[in-house]
Amino acid sequence: MRARIAAEAVRLKEAHRIVPTVAVVLVGDDPASALYVATKEKAVKETGFAARDLRFPASSSESALILEVEKLNADPSVHGILVQMPLPPHIEPRRVIGAIHSGKDVDGLTPANAGRLLTGEFGLNRGLVACTPLGAMMLLKETLGAQLSGLDAVVIGRSTLVGKPMAQLLLQENCTVTMAHSQTRDLAARAARADILVSAVGRAELVKGDWIKRGAAVIDVGMNRKAGADGKSKLVGDVAFDEALEVAGAITPVPGGVGPMTIACLMRNTLIAASLQAGLPSRDV
């Protein structure tokens, strides 16, 4: 997909003199956030896009950050705006995200884009969809194809970043969706009935092998640190991978599963945004 996006970026540049440009906003000096930003910016440049790196001290006020977002909204050379989370405690993320113009919301998190997803009014020439659930849905379609319709799906986690949009995308594919979370009773039994199981709760290896229906498709969105036998920490997902591998029909690893799809979908959203802002129809990549 990244190769197709890069080819479309070349076409846009040659035919319309447009270079898709994304502004990445980082507040504070959190090492994990800085690493995520560097990964995103590398992918942006490898795809033939342009990146703007805007960094602000952790002491920045919410009003000052919103003012910077509004400047980016008004800048015609910027097609996508990405505010890296988490923000410092004194800044309300919803107000900052809400300040982003929906047409430049390449994370797909503004109320306007979330609303379009809820009502089913999204697509290439309409709204932008949150990158991680969009990437997860692409993986499911690639694996299951038309067989998605009528399947039982369980989404563990109810965040606006993954859980809620993931459930909406599954509903759009005619799945029967159960949303589960930290207060769900008998979570293991609910999970065990799922043909599609998506976990996005951020709890290391919460989902055990015996929670998974034989042959189920498992999407692991978790990214957690766990101490290994040698005392060093390692990245693990929400799913106990080795146990799940014995029963799942398909499963995403951590790292290297949903993460690369998230980055690719960020590029895809930026390409769509650049086309729409130029009054051009988007091409499906």
pLDDT in tens, 131-171: 999 999 999 999 998 789 999 999 999 999 999 999 999 99
- Nearest Cα to 28, choosing from 98, 99, 89? 89
**Cα gap 68→163, rounded to integer Å:** 29
C-alpha span between 219 and 208 (Å, rounded):
13
Q: Give the separation between CA 196 and CA 40, rounded to whole angstroms.
A: 28
What CATH number does the domain located at 2-104 have? Answer: 3.40.50.10860
Contact between 111 and 50 (Cβ < 8 Å): no
**Pick the catalytic residue: 107, 195, 220, 238?**
107
Per-domain boundaries in the chain: 2-104, 131-259
The class level of CATH for 131-259 reads: alpha beta
Q: Is 40 a catalytic residue?
A: yes
pLDDT of residue 248: 98
Residues in the chain with pLDDT values less than 70: 123-126
Q: How far, in Å, CA of 49 to CA of 43, rounded?
A: 9
Q: Which residues contact 14 (CB under 8 A, 6 or more apart)?
A: none
Q: Tell me, yes or no, if the pTM score tops 0.75.
A: yes
Q: How far apart are CA 252 and CA 276, in angstroms?
A: 32
Say how far apart CA 155 and CA 255 lie, in whole Å: 20
Catalytic residue among 84, 104, 195, 238: 84
Would you say the CATH fold of 131-259 matches that of 2-104?
Answer: yes
SS3 category, 128: coil
Instruction: Reply yes or no on whether 107 is catalytic.
Output: yes
Q: Give me the helices (H) in the chain, please.
A: 2-16, 31-46, 62-74, 93-99, 111-119, 131-144, 163-172, 187-191, 241-245, 258-277
The active-site residue out of 40, 104, 164, 213 is 40
Q: How far is CA 68 from CA 33, 64, 75, 229, in A?
A: 19, 6, 11, 46
Do 221 and 136 form a contact (C-beta atoms < 8 A)? yes
Q: Which DSSP category does 10 fall into?
A: H
β-pairing verdict for 224-227 and 233-236: antiparallel
Say what the pLDDT of residue 179 is: 96
Q: Is 84 a catalytic residue?
A: yes
